[in-house]
Amino acid sequence: MHIAHSIDELRQLLKPATFRAFVPTMGNLHQGHLDLIQLARQRANAQATPGTVVASIFVNRLQFAPHEDFDSYPRTFERDCELLQAQGCDVVFAPSEKDLYPEPQVFKIHPPAELADILEGAFRPGFFVGVSTVVHKLFNCVQPQLAVFGKKDYQQLMVIRRMVQQMALPIEIIGSETRRAPSGLALSSRNGYLSADELQEAVQLSQTLQALAQTVRQGNAQGVLDVASAQAHAMQTLVERGWKPDYLTVRRQHDLSPIHGVCQEPLVVLGAARLGNTRLIDNLEV
């Protein structure tokens, strides 16, 4: 496995590659990330000439608000590289801020407000500008034919898909299913911030979303669905357990627009809530 720190070094390493499968990460890897690498490896190996799997490790300052955890975000580079190599990754792109942003990044990607300023974007203003800008730049550096993202960051996956479509980028975007602990807790780099007691409690987010999803299924089946009441009940469930929820909501999968009653389109329930000092997100497709 090769490690490139500069864009020029990366491009030299990738010159012989006929097919490039790419997984962008911020490091501090867990099994969910490794699932993405495995999927990229499978797709690369399925080519007539086996392709090259590239992973990036870069903690992107542009997507962190001033009060968020950029400086304290876990950085575990050596361990990450060991895990990536064991999964068959060929190239790791690990630029410094100076490598990727040699001058202030004043050109930025601004996704449409109706997709990016809701849900996560409403509580983290500018987040998807930072995500879209760095992903677009990484795509330009790697020039992949395929890129793999996790469905746990559901809205992010949709923003990236829309960007690729709008910008006519020749990249296939694949969403990988959320990897969960045996308890049902979605794996996340931020789970490491949780205390032992909080780690046990954290599964309540996925359980509350499951209950909300079941209410939606039953309401659609019976032809009567009070979405506002179901969402409010889900929020109250977490509040009573000491959480501080930002949202628990039911949306259409294709554009994350809200529903107001019975809806037979594919849906997704999404939630974000703070447990102690740690903000967790999760979702379930319905």
Cite the active site residues.
Answer: 33
What is the spatial distance between Cα 1 and Cα 137, in angstroms, rounded to a whole number? 23
Do residues 139 and 147 touch, judged by C-beta distance below 8 A? Answer: yes
Q: Cα(105)–Cα(175) distance, rounded to whole angstroms?
A: 28
Q: Please tell me the distance from the alpha carbon of residue 192 to that of residue 6, in angstroms, as a whole number.
A: 30
Alpha-carbon distance 129 to 121, whole Å?
9
Q: Which residues of 236-257 are buried (b: 16+ CB within 10 A; e: fewer)?
A: ebbeeeebebbbbbbbeeeebe
DSSP 8-state class, residue 205: H
Q: Per DSSP, what are the bridge partners of residue 2?
A: 91
Can you tell me whether residue 253 is helix, strand or coil? Answer: coil
CA gap 278, 190 in Å, rounded:
7
**What SS3 string covers 31-66?**
HHHHHHHHHHHHHHHCCCCCCEEEEEECCCHHHCCC
Residue 97 contacts residue 122 (beta carbons within 8 Å)? no
Could you tell me the sign of the dihedral formed by the alpha carbons of 217, 223, 228, 234, in that order?
negative
